[in-house]
Amino acid sequence: MTVIPHRANLLQDRNQLHQFLLNCQQSLTEKDRTKIVSISQEIYPLDPLAVLQEISEPCQRHFYFEKREPIAGKSFAIAALDSAIHLTVAGTDRFVAAQNFIRSTVANTITIGAERLPFSGPHFFCSFAFFDENIAANSYFPPATIFLPKWQITRQKDSCILVANAIIEKDRNVKNIAENIWQTFDKIESRKYHKLTTAIDSSISLKQIPVNDASQFKTSVKSALELIASKYFSKIVLSQAINVISQTPFSLIDSLNNLRLSYPDCYVFSTSNGKGQNFIGASPERLISIHNNQLLTDALAGSAPRGKTEAGDAKLAQGLLESEKDIREHQVVIDFIVDRLSKLGITPKFSPVPRLLQLSNIQHLWTPITAQIPPDIHLLKILAQLHPTPAVAGVPRDIALEQIRRRESCDRSLYAAPLGWIDRTGNGEFAVGIRSALIDGDRAILYAGAGIVAGSEPEKELAEIQLKLQALLNALV
């Protein structure tokens, strides 16, 4: 990757932008006929979700990713619009293929502008399906999608960085490329955006159609418990999906805004396949975050509802912290993550006592795990080892995956799978796509799951899933 010193206001000067792109084109050779140009510029603070609403088209890929951590001062929101270059791939080597694609693209990229600011330069947005191969003929998302957007806008505190990425080829009209960039930049920066600050109440009735009914799910849980008792496996996560039909098409932006206002402690995300379908959610679970070689991941397993009163809530919280069944389920996830990291030569650190992650309608046992990462270990190599964790699959993993395939009638697609971003230096952040929904016009499929271990009760597991599904049902408009 070539880095060129900062040029002020390059995106706002047509002639200067055109000349820079022309110089890049003239540097191409017969052997090296294509380059990617990445231009970063600081702009007046905007809401990336509002920009997504105004600029994105249904026929374009997009990625939205937001996490609010006001106490830690790490809140950020990213909107990635359209695709400059992308890769879709399937198979057991999909994480390796994604890593190679990112590496080769970065090596072929010229960066210019405010490259020292956070979230500047090229970022790659990734969605990996739960399984490495699609079995269902109507799967909306490939097993892996990685794309470099044409436009990326990120807000962190009161700072806002805009990144434009463009493909430069020997036989392309550079003047047209420069004009398109200049006009889109002007549109993003000068448009008056509607403020998305209040929740939108749903006044429409939603028709719910379970993919498999309650009795079928409880039968699956009982069958799984019998196999657990016979030592065939020790845990399996079974998901439940419901089809939801609205009287009018769902509003992607209003639904996302409701999620970020209702669940500020969660990752709020949306990704599009460029064909009109969107996968959205509010996930409490970080799969992996790496910044300056510091890794952070979450062991999140063991759940209880929130109480209706302060005393009732405290009682439920204490019951969760003392639950032998939930602590055992939680420890399985910790052991798995520690084992997987250790096999890569990484030494994890964590507290022996789990904490509580309390959301508005549910609370979980939570253990953050940290580690120092050697520079030669790529984030995607770690991701390939961690996904899927026992929190969304089971133990042993291969047996649990085979049983999930057999027992679940709905294609998981991106449900319970990694979604996130990676920058040019290997920093990145991925959430687990739980508490999620696939939106397709006036129809949606909502997903939630529950971990089945010895001591699980079918009625309680079903109630837990229904509680998780309610989070999406309340947000969709």
Q: How far is CA 114 from CA 10, 76, 111, 161, in A?
A: 10, 18, 9, 8
Q: Are strands 2-4 and 109-113 parallel, antiparallel or unpaired?
A: parallel
Token pair of 477 as six digits: 């408009």
d(CA 181, CA 183): 6
Residue 435's region, left for phi above 0, alpha for psi from -120 to 50, else beta, is: left
Collapsing DSSP to helix, strand or coil, 98 comes out as helix
Catalytic residue among 235, 429, 464, 468: 235
Token pair of 35 as six digits: 């380059």
Adjacent-strand bridge partners of 296: 289, 370
Helix (H) or strand (E) holding 342: helix 324-343
Adjacent-strand bridge partners of 31: none
Collapsing DSSP to helix, strand or coil, 179 comes out as helix
Helix 310-322 and helix 324-343: axis angle, to 10°? 60
315 is catalytic: no
Q: How far is CA 371 from CA 107, 235, 279, 295, 382, in A?
A: 28, 26, 31, 5, 12
Catalytic residue among 66, 285, 329, 408: 285
Instruction: Read off the DSSP letter of residue 450.
Output: E
d(CA 123, CA 153): 11
Nearest to 379 by CA among 267, 265, 290: 290
Contact present, 327 and 354 (Cβ < 8 Å)? yes
CB atoms within 10 A of CB 42: 14
Token pair of 192 as six digits: 């008056």
Nearest to 59 by CA among 271, 276, 279, 277: 276
Tokens 């890794």, residue? 295
54 is catalytic: no
- Give catalytic residue positions: 235, 285
